[in-house]
Amino acid sequence: MALFNLLKEKGVSQVSYVPDAGHTTLIDLFNKDEEVISNVLTTEEEGIAISVGAWLGGSRSVVLMQSSGVGNCINMLSLPVLAKTPLLMLVTMRGEWNEFNPWQVPMGQATQTVLEAIGVTVVRAHGGEDLVETVEQASVMAYDSDQQIAVLISQRLLGKKKW
């Protein structure tokens, strides 16, 4: 709830996401808020384009995705990087702490490197105590300084996924 309240306080009026268990609470809160436009994506790169369009239209947006989705949107990330439009992404990590699915490991290990290589600044939240503070700092960098920021949310913080 604190993270949702922070994003609302920062003026976020659009959220884009591919459904992800790590973001369930935040997605549910945004979906219940009639002041927020929620965009369910078929693929993560759509969220990057929506975020740029939201900014051009005078709105603030956040894109929620899993680390595996970062690989899907690398080419589209050139749009906000080159246009110098704000971008705030909250990325739940896979392929780290207590991962059971070997298919998640390669992209999980490459996520930070890949984002930094395209020009996105990466910050990490390792525990619940620093998640809100980290996202607050990232939102200032994105919205006030026209930066492209990805907050990587540790898999350890989210806990082991169960299937």
How many CB atoms are located within 10 Å of the residue 121 CB?
A: 16
pLDDT value of position 94: 79
**Encoding tokens for residue 26?**
């935040």
Domains defined along the chain, listed by start:
2-158 (3.40.50.970)
pLDDT value of position 163: 57
Cβ-contact 89, 62 below 8 angstroms: yes
pLDDT value of position 62: 98
pLDDT value of position 95: 66
pLDDT value of position 154: 85
pLDDT value of position 1: 85
| Residues lower than pLDDT 50 in the chain | none
